[in-house]
Amino acid sequence: MKTADMGLWLLAFRLPSAIGLLLAPSFLSLAALAASPDTLFQAGATAYRAADYTQAAEAFRQSVTLQPASGTLQDLGNAEWQRHRTGEAILAWEQALWLDPFNDAARQNLRFARKTAQLEAPELAWYEVISTWLPVNWWAWIAGGSLWLAVGMGALPGLLRRRKATWQQATAALALMVFLLSIPALFGVQTRARIGFALQKDTPLRLTPTLEAQTLTRLAPGDPARWLRSRGRYVLIRTSRAVGWVEQDQLGLTCPKAGKRIG
């Protein structure tokens, strides 16, 4: 059978599925258009300007759920702040900086909110400070890319039976240096992912993970804490004042899925 005949036979046999594959993206795009992150973002901004902050926060939150974005998280923080939900506002601004540390407006809003609400910022170790220099998504690619670039520059000339040029050796050394420097930042991203913020007013910090436990202290909304481990619906956190248990719903993590892996 000739190739052309085989192609026609295949086309006839698989025509329905081929049409389905062609049309599927169209239907998907139509469905997504109804509630795309952009339209939700615009709807939230419109509601915010009309002082309907509840609606604005809802729209921004849905947009973030579909696709996290630094600007959307910044606006979500503004809407939550206008709703007097300090914990949610600070969490949203922290997440905006988590995605884009160059978002100066979110950084200023955080400073403003913490100054206004008399809250402290989370204390970061040196490697965590380094990890805030660039978006968290960059560090993994920088580390992976620089590692394989160094390996490639070191190994490829030998494999290809070519003499190692000076620029290749320099590139390999530079890439290796970048890789080694990015390791602390990668570790900082890992540890920063466990930082959370109290969401509710007067969140009780309990001595044991039980409802009847003694309350050690109460956290203000927006107070930072580090997630240590979880047990049931309680999580063990460390704040600047004490170590204790809170309910999972009362703590919002910068990286929401980090707690599940730790717990």
Residues within the interface to other proteins (CB under 8 A): 37-38, 41, 45, 48-49, 51, 53, 63, 67-72, 74-75, 78, 81-82, 84, 95-96, 98-100, 102-103, 105-106, 108-109, 111-113, 115, 135-137, 139-141, 143-144, 148, 151-152, 155-156, 158-159, 186, 189-190, 193, 254-258, 261
Phi and psi, residue 158, nearest 5°? -70, -40
Residue 78 near residue 112, CB atoms below 8 Å:
no
Beta carbons within 10 angstroms of residue 57's beta carbon: 26
Query: Which of 20/256 has CB closer to other proteins?
Result: 256
Q: How far is the CB of 29 from other proteins (least distance, A)?
A: 18
Residue 193 near residue 258, CB atoms below 8 Å:
yes
What is the side-by-side strand order in the sheet with 224-231? 215-219, 203-206, 243-247, 234-238, 224-231, 195-198, 251-253
Query: Which of 59/205 has CB closer to other proteins?
Result: 59
Nearest-CA neighbor of 89 among 99, 80, 100?
80
Q: How far is the CB of 211 from other proteins (least distance, A)?
A: 28
Q: How far is the CB of 173 from other proteins (least distance, A)?
A: 18
Nearest-CA neighbor of 190 among 153, 236, 155, 227?
227
Identify the bridge partners of residue 219 per DSSP, sorted by sequence position. 203
Q: How far is the CB of 144 from other proteins (least distance, A)?
A: 5
Q: In the 8-state DSSP scheme, what is residue 165?
A: P
Query: Which of 7/158 has CB closer to other proteins?
Result: 158
Q: How far is the CB of 159 from other proteins (least distance, A)?
A: 5
Query: Which of 101/244 has CB closer to other proteins?
Result: 101
Query: Which of 78/200 has CB closer to other proteins?
Result: 78
